[in-house]
Amino acid sequence: MPRGTQIINGTEYVYDYVAIWDKDKKQPKHKRNYIGKMADGVFVPNKKYKLQMELEAEQKKLKTPGPVPVTESKRLFYGTTYLFDAIG
């Protein structure tokens, strides 16, 4: 998402811009969400944005569990007789 800044009374505020479709006017609108400040060149997120990022990270962790290690591997040779007995 594109981010923008605005300086108000000497403090630099950081915003996220979101495009939204207005159904009544049938044209796009731009909404600006405040996400934090810049203090000495370092981004300081506000509480709402920080909580939102933590929730997204947690949901991402739950969605992609990753590979599970194999604990036991076993290979058995029975032959065709066992196969035919199991089928018939």
Rg (CA), the chain: 28
Task: Read off the pLDDT of residues 42-73 as tens digits, 9 standing for 90 and up.
Answer: 999 999 999 999 999 988 888 767 788 888 88
* Residue 11 CB contacts under 8 Å (≥ 6 apart), including other chains: 37
List helix spans (H) across the chain: 47-63, 80-87
Is pTM beyond 0.75? Reply is: no
- 28: helix, coil or strand? strand
Buried b (16+ CB within 10 A) or exposed e, 25-57: eeeeeeeeeebbeeeeeeeeeeeebeeeeeeee
